[in-house]
Amino acid sequence: MRKKHVFITIAFLFVCIVVIFVISSVESQEDMVKRGKYLVDAVAACGYCHTPRAGADYDPNMYLAGHPSDSRGPRYNVNMMQQLMEQDIFMFTSTKLSAFSGPFGTSFASNLTPDKLTGLGEWTEKMFIDAMRTAKHQGNPDNRSIFPPMPTKHYAQMTDADLKAIWAYLRTIKPIKNDVNPVLNQFGRPF
Ligand code: HEC
Q: What is the mean pLDDT of the chain?
A: 91
CB burial of residue 129 (10 Å; 0-12, 13-18, 19+): middle
Task: Tell me the C-alpha distance between 52 and 100, whole Å.
Answer: 12
With a 6 Å cutoff on the Cβ, whether 38 touches ligand 1 is no
Cβ atoms within 10 Å, residue 132 = 21
Residue 87 CA to ligand 1 center (angstroms) comes to 28
Residue 26 pLDDT > 80: no
With a 6 Å cutoff on the Cβ, whether 45 touches ligand 1 is yes
Share of the chain above pLDDT 70, in %: 97
Task: Tell me the C-alpha distance between 160 and 162, whole Å.
Answer: 5
Residue 27 pLDDT > 90: no
pLDDT bin (cut points 50, 70, 90) of residue 117 is very high
Q: What is the mean pLDDT of residues 60-73?
A: 94
pLDDT bin (cut points 50, 70, 90) of residue 7 is confident
With a 6 Å cutoff on the Cβ, whether 12 touches ligand 1 is no
Which pLDDT value is given to residue 1? 56
Residue 122 pLDDT > 70: yes
Lowest mean pLDDT among 51-65, 72-86, 154-168: 72-86
